Amino acid sequence: MRSGVRALAVALPACAALLAIATWATHARIEREAHRHALALLASVLPPDAYDNDPLADRTAVTQPDAFGTREPANVLRGRLGGKPSAVVVDAVAQGYAGPIRLVVGVRYDGGVAGVRIVEHAETPGLGDAFATDGGAWLARFRDRGADARWAVKKDDGDFDQFAGATITPRAIVAAVRKAREYCTANRDALFAAPEK
């Protein structure tokens, strides 16, 4: 009996140590994978040659429901090139036909859209493919649009196509990108002056 207790007394700390090492190794791998995914998402809306800092580290958060479509603080990642502000990437939410559509919008310091990517939606399969699969050719139409764009779908005399049989979702996305771009352009100096988080 005593030898069993001794064996257990030796085995328990060894098992605890192995569990701690496994947890640490797994956690580090999860963090690396999350960072890799965040960099890929960033690259989809902001070309890597547009910044030379680490926007994932140079960030702040802003609560502006009218601009970003959510009462939650919106992440603002700041790109700098040669120490000067070059662009921001912000979270935004559009209210589509089937519910909230979460997106990220890259806005250059000059006010032009660098890129748009949908990160989550509940739209009907087929309809959502127009903007969700690989970023979507439809989303590419936002690139380089600024204040001079007609920020509406073509049905409303705008620059952006609507989807066959559906206008609610494209209208919502166009409006969300326009509002995010306008806020970032109007508040660019304050966004870049805000402390890092």
**Overall domain count for the chain:** 2
Pair 38, 120 in one domain = no
Q: Which domain holds residue 11?
A: 1-44
Pair 8, 77 in one domain = no
Distance from C-alpha of 113 to C-alpha of 46, rounded to nearest angstrom: 9
Pair 108, 151 in one domain = yes
By the 8 A CB rule, do 96 and 169 touch? yes
Pair 39, 98 in one domain = no
Q: CB under 8 Å to 81, separation ≥6 — which residues?
A: 50, 51, 52, 53
Task: Tell me the per-residue pLDDT of 88-123, one tens digit each, with 9 for 90 and over.
Answer: 999 999 998 888 999 999 999 999 999 999 988 887
What pTM did the predictor assign?
0.81
Pair 24, 101 in one domain = no
Task: Tell me the per-residue pLDDT of 51-79, one tens digit each, with 9 for 90 and over.
Answer: 999 999 999 999 999 999 999 999 999 99
